[in-house]
Structure 1
Amino acid sequence: MVLKEPQTYKNQVDLLRVKGFIISDENLCVDFLKEVNYYRFAAYYLPFRMAVDKYQPSISIERIKDIYHFDQEIRNLVFAAIEKIEISLRTHIAYFHAHKYGAEGYKEASNYRLDHKHEVFNSHIKERIKENSSSLVVKHHNAKYEGKFPIWVVIEFFTMGMLSHFYLGLTTSDKKAISKDLYKTTESNLESWLRCLTDLRNKCAHYSRLYYWIFTAIPKFPTDCEYPADRGLFAQLLLLKFMYPLILDWNELFVLPLEQLFNKYDGSISLGHMKFPENWKELLLK
């Protein structure tokens, strides 16, 4: 199949009109398309598609822009929460591992599951250290400690995916100890959470769409959780609640700003597009 021809901004506006969208100010629409790739923007009117190139009538381009801006803001809110969770995870896992196996215990294959691909993982660690060779931390340890790095230093260079794999590779007893101490949950649940968190973090880091997105992984929730886990955004946010390290801050720094976002974009967004139940606030509050 032959690829489509590139379109001018004027033609892109015409395409939106053909699809049935209401455009009250063509110049403003062009200005917006100059800043946001048409292909990227197009994903935000997927919730209104009825058939191929056929959309719900009377949908204004301003509403789609509102949804786009809402997605930017909720993504920033989510990313800020993930930052706190990720730093807490690094801290607790490094502390546990260092006190049980020593500063360089992460280098020993015997401290992992039998099926752990230890050599491959160690090569990834070396790559990360090399990539950060200009940092003061690496220079300091190369100069003073002959290139030796304790777990509490090297873990700061892990990607979220590496951190997840590091936990997955630990022995069952170690995973149980960490998951129970940190989240009062099972190692199976935490494995699920880390997979979901990695995916969610990567989407935020690459400015990907969260609104009306169907996630690949379904998080495992505690047995007493009232919400049945699914692939919608709300399930991912409920997961953040379970992992958020600062209990007293969660309501003020996440739930309240989230509610304010909903009020700000009321009339443009739909909670149903993100799989939010009617009692979403009750479920999210700590």
Structure 2
Amino acid sequence: MDIGNPDVAIKQLQHVNYYRLSGYWYSFRRHSGQHREDDFYPGTILQDVVKLYNFDEALRTATFACLTPIELTVRALLGHELGLLDECAHLKPGILGPQAGKGAIYSTWLKRYEKSLRESKEDFVSHHRVRYGGTLPVWAAVEILDWGALTYLYGFAPRGIQDSVADKFGLTAPQLGSWMKSLNVVRNICAHHGRLFNRVHAIKPKLPKVGQYPHLDETRNEMNRTFGQLSLIQHMLHHRGIGRPQLLPAVLRSYPDVKLLPLSHTGAPANWGESALWR
């Protein structure tokens, strides 16, 4: 690798840990069979690696920002629908769906919820402790759940409630459940500063039938790549009219000119910018 000015390279490695940055030059290493060699492809320069690192930082920030209104919307919708069932539906597994009665899943979730409740510093939680003994109604309880716990609560909900929430995003209950699980992984990558732009994702979300949403059909075969996962986010933002759906397209257009690792490494097709989701 051409590291350029050694003093600049040293300064860069004082700013970003060697092993963190090495994840961004991994794809520049020669590929032989099933293994990567220690040598790099000709033309590899440290400056390109740093450009990709900086781009990925911007992509993570934008992705996290776009996931926030989606999370808040699901909280509001689920809290409302469960509240119509019972004001403390989250504490009554007997009136929830069949998933709440399987094994120790619900009891494990409840312990996690109670821990969040004990540790919460929110004013509304303190208010409920003083006025109502600390038992939160479900529309308040959803506000102390992280994305993972919220996903479990959605899974515990009766199917009719799941359907009602999912329909707001133009999805079926199983589809929204799988999307929430998939995007929880993406959210955690962003929160923990992981490499996102060229990651291969293990969880593939369930998609609507072909033809229902042509903009999703265009990336149907790339759902294990980051661009496919970002397409889920774009769909949810557009369908509900929430957040800033122009943010991710703007970041993707800023992808650096790195010949050895073009934008296609995100899973984006050549004509990605022409899609209704990304224009």
C-alpha distance in structure 1 between counterparts of 2:245 and 2:188, whole Å: 24
Q: SS at the partner of 1:28?
A: helix
- Does the Cα contact within 8 Å between 2:56 and 2:196 map onto a contact in 1? yes
Q: Among 217, 220, 242, which residue is 1:226 paired with?
A: 217
C-alpha distance in structure 1 between counterparts of 2:68 and 2:4, whole Å: 40
Match of 1:106 in 2: 90
- Does the Cα contact within 8 Å between 2:69 and 2:243 map onto a contact in 1? no
Match of 2:235 in 1: 242
1:173 to partner: Cα distance: 2.5
1:249 to partner: Cα distance: 5.8
The 1:113/1:251 distance shift into structure 2, 3 A limit, reads closer
Q: Among 156, 161, 164, which residue is 1:174 paired with?
A: 161
C-alpha distance in structure 2 between counterparts of 1:248 and 1:285, whole Å: 15
Q: Where does 1:1-286 land on structure 2 (aligned, <5 Å)?
A: 21-50=1-30, 51-99=36-84, 101-116=85-100, 117-132=105-120, 134-180=121-167, 182-223=168-209, 224=211, 225-227=216-218, 228-229=220-221, 230-244=223-237, 246-247=240-241, 250-255=244-249, 257-262=250-255, 265-267=256-258, 270-283=262-275, 284-285=277-278
More displaced 10-residue stretch of structure 1: 72-81 or 215-224? 215-224
Look up the equivalent residue of 1:154 and give its one-letter code. Answer: A
- Does the Cα contact within 8 Å between 1:47 and 1:212 map onto a contact in 2? no
Aligned residues: 260
1:246 to partner: Cα distance: 5.0
C-alpha distance in structure 2 between counterparts of 1:31 and 1:40, whole Å: 15
More displaced 10-residue stretch of structure 1: 55-64 or 269-278? 269-278
Match of 2:33 in 1: none
Look up the equivalent residue of 2:198 and give its one-letter code. Answer: Y
C-alpha distance in structure 1 between counterparts of 2:248 and 2:241, whole Å: 11
Backbone CA RMSD of aligned residues: 1.8
The 1:248/1:130 distance shift into structure 2, 3 A limit, reads closer
1:243 to partner: Cα distance: 1.6
The 1:103/1:167 distance shift into structure 2, 3 A limit, reads same
C-alpha distance in structure 1 between counterparts of 2:145 and 2:245, whole Å: 29
More displaced 10-residue stretch of structure 1: 134-143 or 109-118? 109-118
Q: TM-score, normalised by structure 1?
A: 0.85
Instruction: Give unpaired runs (5+ residues) of structure 1.
Output: 1-20
Larger Rg computed on CA atoms? 1
C-alpha distance in structure 2 between counterparts of 1:46 and 1:72, whole Å: 17
Q: SS at the partner of 2:65?
A: helix
C-alpha distance in structure 2 between counterparts of 1:136 and 1:42, whole Å: 43
The 1:190/1:210 distance shift into structure 2, 3 A limit, reads same
Q: SS at the partner of 1:258?
A: helix
Give CA-to-partner distance per residue, 1:231-266, whole Å, 9 cap, x none. 1111001110122165376443332x224423xx23
C-alpha distance in structure 2 between counterparts of 1:251 and 1:201, whole Å: 17
1:172 to partner: Cα distance: 2.2
Instruction: Give unpaired runs (5+ residues) of structure 2.
Output: 31-35
Q: SS at the partner of 1:214?
A: coil
Q: TM-score, normalised by structure 2?
A: 0.87
Identity %: 24
Q: SS at the partner of 1:52?
A: strand
- Does the Cα contact within 8 Å between 2:199 and 2:266 map onto a contact in 1? yes
Give CA-to-partner distance per residue, 1:94-116, whole Å, 9 cap, x none. 111112x2321211112222342
C-alpha distance in structure 2 between counterparts of 1:31 and 1:274, whole Å: 28
